[in-house]
A = this chain, B = another copy of it.
Amino acid sequence: MDSETVIFAAETGSFEMRKPELLERRNAKWRQYPSDVIPAFVADMDFRIAPAIQRAIQHSVEAFDYGYPMRDGGKADRAVASAFVNRMKNVCGWDVAEAQVLVLADLVQAIYASVMAFSDPGDGVIVQMPSYPPFRDAIATTGRTCVPLTMQATDRSYVFDLEALEATVDANTKIFMLCNPQNPTGRAFTRDELLEVLAFVEKHDLIVISDEIHSDLVYHGTRHIPFASLSPSAAARTVTLNSATKSFNIPGLRCAVAYFGTEELMQRFHKRIPVRLIGSVNSIGIDATVAAWTEAQPWLDEVLNHLKEMRDHVVATLRREIPGIRFQVPDATYLIWLDCSDLGIEGSAFDFFLERARIGFSPGEAFHPECEKFVRMNFATSKPILDEMLDRMITAVRSNRR
């Protein structure tokens, strides 16, 4: 091992945390359930954060640097905007304008704000189903109408049928909520699929709210395609949402971006949602995000390698040991959407695994009211914990058969 390798290992290795350390954390993942339950629900990874991020945080802590923050001679949130511009250029080959980046606390906030800015009560909002629950909450809470676009399972993948959607869309439909990569199915859509969506939204003159928070977590080395990067016309109608909190594992630090494809779109947004209604973002979240996007790629590469191994391990083990569970191999995300309809479970799959296997998955019905026999599994953990989880699943399913 030459010295460069050693440095690299010190920088990126050893991110896996053991159970005693995890139990020290005061996060929802490890505190929601009694300690005999293995949590696999909320999108939080059982990993130490990147050393570069930790250093950025410690820098502020050591200097008692908690004042109104400035960075690089300007307002601190502009450092996040600038880091986003550079990252989109370097990672996706996409040119974005710094002035059109709004920095805010989280994606759910951005979704509520965008729904309120670009539609009125009663208007329709298209949402892929199953979906991350706050999407539908944003539609219901603001008095908009949900127009579902079903993700259909084929033998190899989850696909959507825009022709079928035509029947449910009308002049009151104003927004297409795109989640790419999609949560919970793990689909990373192809350019052709995205172009189909573009033709659809152009035909119906829809605004696109594109949640791309899982864009760093794509396997196969395929590059993420931001929807707004498809064409100037796509950009002009799209609010792109992203954050370092998911892929760099800092959700508690609350920092995200909403990117408006044109100045006009941003102005239209701010007519209803003044910038200061959004609230300022905290300095620790800002520094952590900048460090993530500018210095922490080596850590993320290592984590992705590990996640891919864990994904493949889950896939191979479930296929071999519990063939009754149906699923597609996720293209992206550390989440897998498990259809347990054929297991002969009474009640919900979530309750079954919680009671019989002491595993806390995300309940399928939270993502789709009809998916009570599904669970969403988070496999972003260490191999020993994942193995224990798989063993418990196998045992519970086998004992259920008898």
Interface residues of A (CB under 8 A from B): 17, 21, 24-32, 42, 44, 48-49, 54, 57-58, 60-61, 63-71, 73, 76, 104-106, 108-109, 112-113, 116, 134, 137-138, 141-142, 249-255, 274, 276-285, 288
Contacts and interface: CB of A to CB of B under 8 A. Distances in A.
Given A44-B68, A49-B66, A251-B68, A278 B109 contact: yes
B253 A283 contact: yes
A116 B277 contact: yes
Given A27-B67, A282-B284, 16 more contacts: A21-B63, A24-B63, A25-B64, A28-B67, A28-B69, A44-B68, A57-B61, A60-B252, A61-B61, A68-B251, A69-B252, A109-B277, A138-B276, A254-B281, A278-B279, A282-B285
A56 to B, nearest CB: 11
A224 to B, nearest CB: 24
Tally of this chain's copies: 2
Contacts of A25: 63-65, 67
Contact of A68 (B42, B63, B142, B278): B42
Contacts of A141: 274, 276
A276 B27 contact: no
B27 A274 contact: no
A276 B17 CA distance: 31
Contact of A106 (B57, B67, B280): B280
A249 B67 CA distance: 7
Given A67-B252, A71-B26, A112 B276 contact: yes
Contacts of A283: 252-254
A70 B277 contact: no
Contacts of A69: 26-28, 252
Nearest to A59: B26
A80 to B, nearest CB: 14
A251 to B, nearest CB: 5
A106 B61 CA distance: 21
A32 B64 contact: no
Contacts of A17: 64
Contacts of A281: 105, 254
A102 to B, nearest CB: 12
A23 to B, nearest CB: 10
23 contacts: A24-B63, A25-B65, A25-B67, A26-B69, A27-B67, A27-B68, A27-B69, A28-B70, A44-B68, A57-B61, A67-B249, A68-B252, A104-B279, A105-B279, A105-B280, A112-B276, A112-B277, A116-B277, A134-B276, A141-B276, A252-B282, A254-B280, A255-B282
Contact of A254 (B28, B30, B279): B279
A203 B277 CA distance: 30
Contact of A250 (B66, B109, B134, B278): B66
B66 A253 contact: yes
A111 to B, nearest CB: 8
B251 A29 contact: no
A112 to B, nearest CB: 4
Nearest to A27: B67
Nearest to A116: B277
